[in-house]
Structure 1
Amino acid sequence: MNKKRIIIIALLLFGLTSEVSAQTDYQPTQSNLEARQWFDEAKFGLFIHWGVYSILGDGEWVMNNQNIAIDAYEKLPSFFNPTEFDAEAWVKMAKDAGMKYITITTRHHDGFSMFDSKVSEYNIVEKTPYGKDILKQLTEACEKEDIKLFLYYSLLDWHNDDYFPRGKTGNGIAGRQEGDWNNYIKFMKAQLTELLTNYGEIAGIWFDGDWDKVNADWHYDEIYKLIHDLQPQCLIGNNHHVALKPGEDFQMFERDLPGENKTGFGTAASDVGELPREVCATINGSWGFDLQDKTHRSKRELVQQLVRASGFGSNLLLNVGPMPNGKIQEEHVQSLAAIGDWLNIHGETIYRSKAGSIAPTDAWVSTQKGKTIHLHLLEKRPKASVIPEFKERIKSVKLFADKRAVKFKQTKAGLLMEIPEAAQNEIDTIVEITLK
């Protein structure tokens, strides 16, 4: 380790070891409240899981799943040379898909930093033949296209000895040593300081890995305060699958709609809070690049996933796992373009909307802006169908697609509508209901 690096580390850690007041009394700034509102209205973002694990083509958990020893895994960076990475192409793809922000993995559970970190030599600039800071390139491309950037940061680390005592995962990985938990907290603070100092305005920090050690002292009071002090507008979210903690600005739900917990590891309905929400999901079956994953979701599945999330008052963060050469699979590029085409026509029923007053079911969800409800029928229905328990006074009902009037009647059973089968859409039949 060179003298310059030692000095930088010492300065960073010295500034972060002083006592920090708690975030339990956190009061968001005006810029943070404005950022929350923007986020709540954005509705659609791109998740990117990318790291040296992509070389093995077996997902981002390959180090754990194959129990790859530390010294063996450390060989991977020497093969990582994504010469076809094009930050501007990635951002343009997201923008054309109708996405308003990007969330990218800066450090995943394998402990490898995908940015130019001065507190860890185990990073893309120093350990790969590529030798460039992909995060710097992405921040510049996002700024150019007015796309906001969120940074995923793993709390869990299978590589760093100071992540000790260890948690539930990675215990079959040979070469892991004992270390000092307090030093690990200082290390994370130092890296977060780098991320929030060297890359311009960051829209949010997306934490993951809390579930590996649910009873650990993660020093969230200190970490959250550090983030809000460095960039007050920066939104904090944590994928811990439990109720919101003090200092957090939005709540995320992994592979699940808020309150549904169909995964079995998700957030209980009683723990769903009032802050902005985000559902994260994959475009196929994997987060990181998986060569064998052929479960690519159809346009219908993807559009309906976005619509359902919106009907639950949530954003959708849709993931892609780039290949080791820096390109995104062509089938995923095409799928994102198809969603963008759909949003070009139907986006006003999604963006800046809130969950509608018609309760969601498997067959429909609703979004709403003021007195306008957009009822999204996600399955074809009989010509005459009833939306039960609808009691609000209606001014008009029409199809969103062609503004054709829909015959309707309000009865004790609910709202009775007549929509000819020929007028129904395979993906989403949108009915626009205007209230009096």
Structure 2
Amino acid sequence: MYQFDLERYEKRMEWYQDARFGMFIHWGLYAIPARGEWVRSTEEIPKEDYMPYFDEFNPTDYDPHKWAKAAKEAGMKYVVLTAKHHDGFCLFDSKYTEFKSTNTKCGRDLVAEFVEAVRAEGLKVGLYFSLLDWYHPDYPHYRDKNHPMRNNPAYGNENRNFDNYLQLMHNQVREICTNYGKLDVLWFDFSYDDMRGEKWHATKLMDMVRSLQPDVVIDNRLEVSGEGHGSLAEGNPKPYHGDFVSPEQMIPPNGICDVNGKDLIWEACVTMNNNWGYCANDHYFKPAGMLIKKLVECVSKGGNMLLNVGPDARGNIPEESMAILKTIGKWMKKNSESIYGCTKAGIEKPDYGRITRKGKKLYFHLFENTIGPIPLMGIRKEEVEKIRWLATGAEIPVSTSWVHSDYPDIVFADLGPDPVLPDDVDTVLEITLK
């Protein structure tokens, strides 16, 4: 009988909670039509009309060392690549399908090159694997919620054997857990309708993964999708429970707790624009400053951020994404101590920003300045050992101004006469407690 091992769980999650910031990479054949990673489903494209992209695929600029370097310079600690997305195309050399990168003009095992490049930069390696497969003949077609042929009665399911698909899926998971060294993250995607849990033979699958990769960190999507928290949150973890909750395209308003009020480990996966895969006409990129603040928000609520890039058909991360990563990296070089290893502060969010904490250090993130000295709510004057600008280490004195004499129980920091903060996105104060 399966029993949840809390001590082992907490040990395997240590690095992940310290990292706080990772890169997601959605990339595959769908970069060629360049209308997003769901293009085959949203446009209900038959297999024969999708196969020309397979015949064309040849990312001549693919250099995962550039991707890994960009992630590291942005301050990210782990990178997760879509080894196989919903269209069924494998970026790795699977012996169980012909629908793979080694059979294209490219002729390369792209996952093998990726894991080598990421490890070379000292980053943790993650692989994404879709539970869905719109290519496989035994995956449900007609009236499946997501399949491209869901509305076409000519693609009925009468002669489809789902067990055949499950065998292939399990075999491919075994391949990625066997052929590419130690994996740090395995990101399954996703469950829906009755396609969840044991429909995937999830206990058997998880037993196999844990036997091959005992320390790998796994998301919760064998049970749920971007919505739903899973059995770990319900206080009765199933054998295939995930290690973290995976909210998508949103940050939980108050973090995430289980039914007993205990904080859960979670990760918000977020796109830079409005698509995961490359979309040539999607220029709605979130500003770097916004993404920095959202990273801080995640950490202040006890979570991670997994920020996505969608390389183009040649294998290049879009210029807009690279510019955003560089700006984030510039901020992280000065302020990463307020992110890595940090979590909730146990203090109510101030009007002017957010607070993260690591042991006896509190990090007050100032998104805007105040009129007069800045109130450091939630701490007492006698608790404060010192206050510093995190970016420079310069001393910030405790204010003795008369203007806040009506509030003797609140510590105020004297930032000086300039109303403009040193960093117009997020200026960080480091408060060391006694």
- Superposed CA offset, 1:266-307 (max 9, x none): x89869864432111112221100100111222211211211
Partner SS state of residue 309, structure 1? helix
Match of 2:429 among 403, 420, 431: 431
Partner SS state of residue 396, structure 2? coil
Shift of 1:386: 4.5
Q: Which position in structure 2 is the counterpart of 1:49?
A: 26
Give ranges in structure 2 of 5+ residues lacking alignment.
232-237
Q: Provide the rounded CA distance (Å) in 2 between the counterparts of 1:257 and 1:403.
A: 33
Which runs of structure 2 are paired with 1:238-387 in the superposition (5 Å)?
A: 238-239=220-221, 240=224, 241-245=227-231, 246=238, 247-259=241-253, 274-360=263-349, 363-384=352-373, 386=375
Shift of 1:422: 2.6
Q: Which position in structure 1 is the counterpart of 2:235?
A: none
Q: Which position in structure 1 is the counterpart of 2:182?
A: 201
Q: Which position in structure 2 is the counterpart of 1:25?
A: 3
Relative to the length of structure 1, the TM-score reads 0.85
- Superposed CA offset, 1:327-378 (max 9, x none): 1112211211221111111111111112212233674221111111001122
Comparing 107-116 with 383-392, greater Cα deviation is found at: 383-392
Letter in 1 for 2:34: G
Shift of 1:185: 2.0
Q: Provide the rounded CA distance (Å) in 2 between the counterparts of 1:313 and 1:268.
A: 10
- Superposed CA offset, 1:191-222 (max 9, x none): 10000111111112111121354566232211
The 1:229/1:77 distance shift into structure 2, 3 A limit, reads same
The 1:69/1:336 distance shift into structure 2, 3 A limit, reads same
Q: Which position in structure 1 is the counterpart of 2:162?
A: 181
Partner SS state of residue 32, structure 2? helix
Shift of 1:238: 2.5
Shift of 1:187: 1.6
Q: Which position in structure 2 is the counterpart of 1:237?
A: 219
Q: Provide the rounded CA distance (Å) in 1 between the counterparts of 2:108 and 2:10.
A: 35
Q: Provide the rounded CA distance (Å) in 2 between the counterparts of 1:364 and 1:64.
A: 41
Residues 1:142 and 2:118 aligned together: yes
Partner SS state of residue 192, structure 2? helix
Shift of 1:58: 0.4
C-alpha contact (below 8 Å) 1:49/1:104 kept by paired residues: yes
Identical-residue share of aligned pairs (%): 32
Shift of 1:257: 1.8
- Superposed CA offset, 1:235-287 (max 9, x none): 111342222333422222212223559xxxxx898698644321111122211
Q: Provide the rounded CA distance (Å) in 2 between the counterparts of 1:360 and 1:162.
A: 51
Give ranges in structure 1 of 5+ residues lacking alignment.
1-21, 262-266
C-alpha contact (below 8 Å) 1:36/1:250 kept by paired residues: no
Q: How many residues align?
A: 407
Q: Which position in structure 2 is the counterpart of 1:132?
A: 108
Letter in 2 for 1:208: D
Which runs of structure 2 are paired with 1:73-92 in the superposition (5 Å)?
A: 73-92=50-69
Q: Provide the rounded CA distance (Å) in 1 between the counterparts of 2:3 and 2:284.
A: 45
Relative to the length of structure 2, the TM-score reads 0.85
Q: Provide the rounded CA distance (Å) in 2 between the counterparts of 1:41 and 1:288.
A: 28
Q: Provide the rounded CA distance (Å) in 1 between the counterparts of 2:350 and 2:49.
A: 49
The 1:393/1:119 distance shift into structure 2, 3 A limit, reads farther
Residues 1:191 and 2:168 aligned together: no
Shift of 1:134: 0.5
Shift of 1:147: 1.4
Q: Provide the rounded CA distance (Å) in 1 between the counterparts of 2:138 and 2:314.
A: 32
Match of 2:78 among 95, 98, 101: 101
C-alpha contact (below 8 Å) 1:70/1:174 kept by paired residues: no
Q: Provide the rounded CA distance (Å) in 2 between the counterparts of 1:229 and 1:220.
A: 14
Partner SS state of residue 186, structure 2? strand
Letter in 2 for 1:188: M
The 1:392/1:355 distance shift into structure 2, 3 A limit, reads farther
